[in-house]
Structure 1
Amino acid sequence: MVREQGEFAKAAILEGLTQQMQEIAEASRRRTQLVASASAASGRVTVTVNADGVVIATRFGSDIDELSYEEIAKAVTSAAQQAAEQVRRQGQELLRPLRDKRAAMPRLSELFEGLPDLEATAPTVEPASLAPPKSRERLARLTEPAPDFRNAVDYEEWSSEQNDRGATSSGW
């Protein structure tokens, strides 16, 4: 009876994982179709980006010649950044149901006694600067120390602590 319950639990977990993988694949496929456009310089410049924020189209209005080269360059950069932010938000919205489902699931550290909560100790990834090359902001970031991972646990140390715990302990 106990074995049957264990097999049923395994089958349910596998079914859940299979469904989750299918949902991730579908969301990934739908994400590749995302595009966003933004305009600048009173609509004289319009830039369209794909889901990765890569420019896929740039259009100039018929009155673009009223702008200087510097104004056109700034408008293209501004429109591209706005479009990239829009497509980033679209991607987040598309993936929200998957993130919500993931948040409702127990963490590995909750399932396995003694396992550290890796998500809580993982370093955060800062967004890349939108500042132009050689700008003060970009140069200032070069002198900042890189983030480090100070509360990592050595695997051998953690593993040896685990050997003396639970049903697999030699004291059983």
Structure 2
Amino acid sequence: MVEGSIMSYAEVASKGPKQSPEEAAAPQPPQVNQTTASSTASLVDVDSPSVHTVPSDYPSQEIKTDTQAARVEREEEAKRKKEEAERAEADLAKKKARAAAAKARRAEGWLAKHFETVSEGGTAGALALANIVAVVGLSGWLGFKAWGLYDRGRLGWREAGIGLGVLGAVGAVEGVFVNYLSHAKGKQQ
């Protein structure tokens, strides 16, 4: 062998002391000793009622443990919070309804005030007021219907198109009516 050459592992192992056949053999795997008395003692009997089975009248039984008391307390707290949230929601709905009613009263007052000033101007003023009332009334009614559909989750492009069609038809009829009245008024003067 040349100095400085690298030896393989097999060459190095062959130069060392020889092992006996017992030392060279792999160790024996551990053996499990079974006894018939302990083999089935730890198994759960599936035919008998299990510890995990809860009777159907469990919530109505008297409280015997801290865990049961804590559960009942949590359930009562959740019920109380739910009732408070429902009351708060109902109060908010009442406030919104009152605010909407107040806004409607203010709008009525504004319309009544303008009706007085327009009606003093003659038939043209009355015609303009009728036009405003018709547009506001129809728009309000269609808006209310659309809001109801939206609230129930049924407002779609079809319903919006029908609403716009109604507004367009009323506008066309109103335009023809106003044109007719203005021509009739022009002929009378």
TM-score class normalised by the smaller sequence? 0.3 to 0.5
- Structure number with larger C-alpha Rg: 2
Q: Which has the higher contact order (CA 8 A, sep 6+)?
A: 1
TM-score (norm 1): 0.35
TM-score (norm 2): 0.33
